């Protein structure tokens, strides 16, 4: 019973206490509330609306500013020519007026989460993206820096409303330091397959086949090849299920002869050539440096004027330079009666045997006739039998050469221009460096190729040995579209300079 009375009196005491005026405590709560409101809403709000109102908080008011360029934010893609390279930046921060930052970065307190690593430098400068307070991020905010980002397809040519999404609907911020890079590897926002699995409903005219997953619903690749009808530019041709595509070229080069397991004759005996002897990776490891006569062929296919007597070579290059050298050489031989040679031993020459042809090296320096006839005979031998014709499409021309050059009165030839190397799969992001553990022959049947015309590009089956689709598979790399494809392609202006770009397809 006693406990009951105690409880009652405690309740009475508590009621009495509550009835007393709050006095200082209510005031304190209000002060605290207003204080918190002021610090986290009022002050940053005022500061962000009018940086000038907070001069006592560090930085003075600023005009809209133009940022300095950060040093080369991203190297231009290798397929962009030097002339346009300077225009290609992932982010170019110049020439755009940004609103002044909030004084002392007070608006930081509203940060809903860490910015991506790429944008971390602006963690204290919310207005760089949120230019207008209390408004969603605008595309213009992003485009101030990302000036050259292109649409997925040329909007003037292909009207697909679903593609007109806001930048921020795909690139979501405040999700952690690596969020954007990670998002980029996958389909972000609107899924690639949502659209590409039924691409014709979005764009009926397309010649692109439907795609929904790399593992089992992705078409065989198309490769980009030079037109075969003499037209400039490129066409895209789908790889056949069996056999090989051909691409016309004027350079003769059979891989098989040079890659024979038993070796190939070189100046110092049999040589076992490897792919790397001719194909050196380029600076970023994506593709390869050009193969050249001087660096990769000439050690064996020397251009000797006098196969048996001299280790002197004619220059490799324009026809007049070759003819001038020959003419001057035989004039010298005729006037001095000596055959000048370079210091050092005579090197062996690889002579390419042609069926039914005698291969005894011919000597012109001591042959009957004058300098002109010796030079002519030697030129014919070089251009049409032992040297140029081995690798080039060579045509004898009627008439004389360039006036006032030593070789003008010799027979004349035309060497068909050698086409430059080009990319084969411009719509994908294939990098050789990511595949350096695989042997070249996993993907290129070069060892058995007997013509330079053969297109040695691998089909999708080869890739599927190692690449699964979006869902993981044992011993395979799970491969979302973003692993192999970009989304924003260099578009109409930059793309025009891409060697090997497909005409009429600005995608």
> Residue 8: which residues within 8 A CB-CB, separation 6 or more?
none
Out of 12, 28, 66, 181, which residue is the one contacting ligand HEC (CB under 6 A)?
Answer: 181
Q: Are 266 and 476 in contact (CB under 8 A)?
A: no
CA distance 319 to 383: 9
Site string for ligand HEC, 429-468 (x = CB under 6 A): xxxx-xx--x-xxxxx-xx----x--xxxx---xx-xxx-
Question: Which CB, 374 or 467, lies closer to ligand HEC?
Answer: 467
- CA-wise closest residue to 233 among 242, 223, 224: 224
- CA-wise closest residue to 118 among 176, 157, 159, 71: 176
Residues 321-340 that bind ligand HEC (CB under 6 A): 322
Out of 28, 97, 120, 165, which residue is the one contacting ligand HEC (CB under 6 A)?
Answer: 165
Site string for ligand HEC, 42-81 (x = CB under 6 A): ----------------------------x--xx-------
Question: Which CB, 10 or 120, lies closer to ligand HEC?
Answer: 120
Q: Are 278 and 291 in contact (CB under 8 A)?
A: yes
Take residue 49 and report the two structure tokens written for it. Answer: 């609306």
> Residue 347: which residues within 8 A CB-CB, separation 6 or more?
267, 302, 311
Q: Are 377 and 371 in contact (CB under 8 A)?
A: no
Out of 103, 193, 239, 410, which residue is the one contacting ligand HEC (CB under 6 A)?
Answer: 193
Residues 265-284 that bind ligand HEC (CB under 6 A): 265-266, 271, 273, 275, 277-279
Question: Which CB, 251 or 331, lies closer to ligand HEC?
Answer: 251
Residues 97-136 that bind ligand HEC (CB under 6 A): 107-108, 110-112, 115-116, 118-119, 122-123, 126, 128-130, 136
Residues 346-365 that bind ligand HEC (CB under 6 A): 350, 352-353
54 CB-contact burial (10 Å; exposed 0-12 / middle 13-18 / buried 19+): buried
Out of 78, 173, 328, 393, which residue is the one contacting ligand HEC (CB under 6 A)?
Answer: 173
Q: Is 92 in the site for ligand HEC (CB under 6 A)?
A: no
Smallest distance, ligand HEC to C-beta of residue 338, A: 24
Question: Which CB, 59 or 173, lies closer to ligand HEC?
Answer: 173
Question: Is the backbone of residue 57 left (phi > 0), alpha (psi -120 to 50) or beta?
Answer: beta
Residues 479-498 that bind ligand HEC (CB under 6 A): 479, 481-488
CB atoms within 10 A of CB 426: 23
CB atoms within 10 A of CB 474: 5
- Only one residue has tokens 């691998």, namely 458
- Residues that bind ligand HEC (rule: CB under 6 A) add up to a total of 164
Question: Which CB, 334 or 350, lies closer to ligand HEC?
Answer: 350
Residues 204-233 that bind ligand HEC (CB under 6 A): 206-209, 211-214, 218-219, 221-222
Residues 15-34 that bind ligand HEC (CB under 6 A): none
To 5 degrees, how large is the angle CA 309–CA 313–CA 316?
155
Smallest distance, ligand HEC to C-beta of residue 148, A: 9
Question: Is the backbone of residue 189 left (phi > 0), alpha (psi -120 to 50) or beta?
Answer: left
CA 83 from chain center: how many Å? 15
Smallest distance, ligand HEC to C-beta of residue 3, A: 55
CA distance 72 to 31: 51
Question: Which CB, 7 or 86, lies closer to ligand HEC?
Answer: 86
Smallest distance, ligand HEC to C-beta of residue 9, A: 52
Residues 300-319 that bind ligand HEC (CB under 6 A): 300-301, 303, 314, 316-319
């Amino acid at each position: 019973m006693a406990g009951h009375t105690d409880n009652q009196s405690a309740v009475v005491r508590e009621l009495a206490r509550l009835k007393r005026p709050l006095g200082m405590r209510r005031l304190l709560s209000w002060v605290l509330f207003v204080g918190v409101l002021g610090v986290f809403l009022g002050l940053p709000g005022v500061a962000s609306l009018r940086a000038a109102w907070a001069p006592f908080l560090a930085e003075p008011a600023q005009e809209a500013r133009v940022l300095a360029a950060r040093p080369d934010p991203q190297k231009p893609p290798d397929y962009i020519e030097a002339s346009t390279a300077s225009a290609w930046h992932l982010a170019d921060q110049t020439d755009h007026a940004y609103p002044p930052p909030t004084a002392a970065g007070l608006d930081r307190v509203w940060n809903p989460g860490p910015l991506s690593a790429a944008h971390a430098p602006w963690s204290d400068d919310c207005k760089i993206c949120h230019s207008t307070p209390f408004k969603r991020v605008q595309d213009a905010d992003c485009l101030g820096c990302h000036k050259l980002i292109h649409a997925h397809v040329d909007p003037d040519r292909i009207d697909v409303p679903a593609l007109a999404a806001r930048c921020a609907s795909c690139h979501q911020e405040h999700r952690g330091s690596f969020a954007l890079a990670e998002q980029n590897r996958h389909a972000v926002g609107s899924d690639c397959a949502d659209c590409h699995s039924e691409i014709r409903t979005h764009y009926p005219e397309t010649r692109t086949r439907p795609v929904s997953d790399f593992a089992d619903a992705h078409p065989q690749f198309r490769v980009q090849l030079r037109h075969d009808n003499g037209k400039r530019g490129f066409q895209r041709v789908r790889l056949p299920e069996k056999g090989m595509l051909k691409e016309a070229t004027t350079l003769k080069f059979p891989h098989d002869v040079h890659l024979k397991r038993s070796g190939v004759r070189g100046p110092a005996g049999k040589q076992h050539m490897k792919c790397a002897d001719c194909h050196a990776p380029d600076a970023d490891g994506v593709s390869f440096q050009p193969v050249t006569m001087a660096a990769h062929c000439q050690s064996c296919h020397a251009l000797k004027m006098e196969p048996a007597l001299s280790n002197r070579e004619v220059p490799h290059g324009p026809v007049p330079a070759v003819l001038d050298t020959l003419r001057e050489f035989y004039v010298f031989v005729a006037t001095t009666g000596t055959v000048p040679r370079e210091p050092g031993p005579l090197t062996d020459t690889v002579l390419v045997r042609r069926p039914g042809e005698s291969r005894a090296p011919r000597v012109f320096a001591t042959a009957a006739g004058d300098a002109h006839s010796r030079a002519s005979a030697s030129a014919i031998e070089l251009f049409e039998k032992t040297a140029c014709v081995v690798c080039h499409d060579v045509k004898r021309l009627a008439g004389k050469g360039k006036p006032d050059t030593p070789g003008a009165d010799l027979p004349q030839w035309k060497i068909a221009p050698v086409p430059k190397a080009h990319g084969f799969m411009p719509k994908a992001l294939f990098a050789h460096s990511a595949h350096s553990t695989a042997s070249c022959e996993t993907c290129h049947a070069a060892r058995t190729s007997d013509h330079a015309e053969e297109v040695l590009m691998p089909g999708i089956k080869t890739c599927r040995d190692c690449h699964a689709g979006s869902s993981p598979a044992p011993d395979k790399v799970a491969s979302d579209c973003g692993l192999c494809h970009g989304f924003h392609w260099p578009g109409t202006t930059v793309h025009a300079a891409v060697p090997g770009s497909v005409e009429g397809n600005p995608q």
